[in-house]
Amino acid sequence: MTLTIALIGSGAIGSRIVELLDAGTVPGVRLAGVVPHGNAGTGFSFEEALEVADVVVECAGVAAVAEFGPRTVAAGRDLLVTSIGALCEESLRTKLLDDGPGRTFLTTGALGGLDAITAAGAGGTIHRITLESRKLPASLVQPWMDGETKERLLTATLPVELLRGGPGELIKAFPKSTNVVSALALAAGNWDVVEAVLIADPGARHTAHHVVAETSLGTFDICVTNEASPGNPASSALVPHAVVRGLKSLANASGSFI
């Protein structure tokens, strides 16, 4: 059986997914088209995506999840989300994860170890998860920052702690940096156990995430240092491969979870 997909977003992640599919790395998966941003006519629309695609793959940002996600699952199509931070918002989360009839899948994205945390959450108790994310200062500049704040961030010579809090605090201030913290909360099945620290590190060569999950079934200490995506220094090169790996699992019932 062929799994037909449609993409929303053709930036660093989406365009790499297109390359991987075009190269034939995912037998059994066919790309029907890419939904354009705004009025950029490409001859393919979201309505068409709903008609032809088994899975709509979002790689366009948290706003696009809110715009297209509920309509996708309501139409009985499956949705694969990369902008997991969007699920911080409770009503959207319910529409995507509970309402159906389409199913919502979340990519493992830039992180590892989510499988162990999910298993521990299902079979035991998650006491606490801490996440320390280090990123290059330039990737953390936000539209709400005034000139002085931006200047201080960009000229910092030592690491600067920008924010400490849960997924809710992070999504308000750094919406593009909430995917990992939200993925952890979703894996834990609890939005209150995760505390994140976001650090702008002028010495960072890569984005790095250090997760410590303390659970009744063990402590998981996970360090991931991501190579940057060639198309977007704020994105990780791993993410399109995580999405494609997810599509492979959906297309081929291999029975393997690793």
Ligand X SMILES: NC(=O)c1ccc[n+]([C@@H]2O[C@H](COP(=O)([O-])OP(=O)(O)OC[C@H]3O[C@@H](n4cnc5c(N)ncnc54)[C@H](O)[C@@H]3O)[C@@H](O)[C@H]2O)c1
Specify the pairing of strand 232-236 against strand 228-229: antiparallel
Residues with Cβ within 8 Å of residue 40, at least 6 apart in sequence:
none
Judged by CB under 6 A, does residue 67 bind ligand X? yes
Judged by CB under 6 A, does residue 239 bind ligand X? yes
- Between 139 and 152, name the residue whose CB sits nearer to ligand X: 139
Judged by CB under 6 A, does residue 244 bind ligand X? no
Nearest to ligand X by Cβ — which residue? 11
DSSP character at residue 40: -
- Report the C-alpha gap between 156 and 203 in whole angstroms: 10
Residue in 77, 117, 236, 244 binding ligand X, rule: CB under 6 A: 236
Beta-carbon count within 10 A of 27 CB: 10
Residue in 5, 6, 14, 198 binding ligand X, rule: CB under 6 A: 14
Cα dist from 214 to 53, 98, 124, 126, 130, whole Å:
40, 27, 11, 6, 9
Tell me the two tokens of residue 177.
């940096």
Residue in 17, 53, 59, 237 binding ligand X, rule: CB under 6 A: 59
Map the footprint of ligand X across residues 129-158, applying CB under 6 A.
Answer: none
Q: Nearest approach, Cβ of 187 to ligand X (angstroms)?
A: 12
Tokens 């499988």: give the residue: 115
DSSP string covering 74-93, please?
A: HTT-EEEES-GGGGGSHHHH
- Between 144 and 155, name the residue whose CB sits nearer to ligand X: 144
Map the footprint of ligand X across residues 92-121, applying CB under 6 A.
Answer: 107, 109-110
Q: Nearest approach, Cβ of 103 to ligand X (angstroms)?
A: 18
Binding site for ligand X (CB under 6 A): 8-14, 35, 37, 59-62, 64, 67, 82-84, 107, 109-110, 176, 179-180, 229, 231-232, 235-236, 239
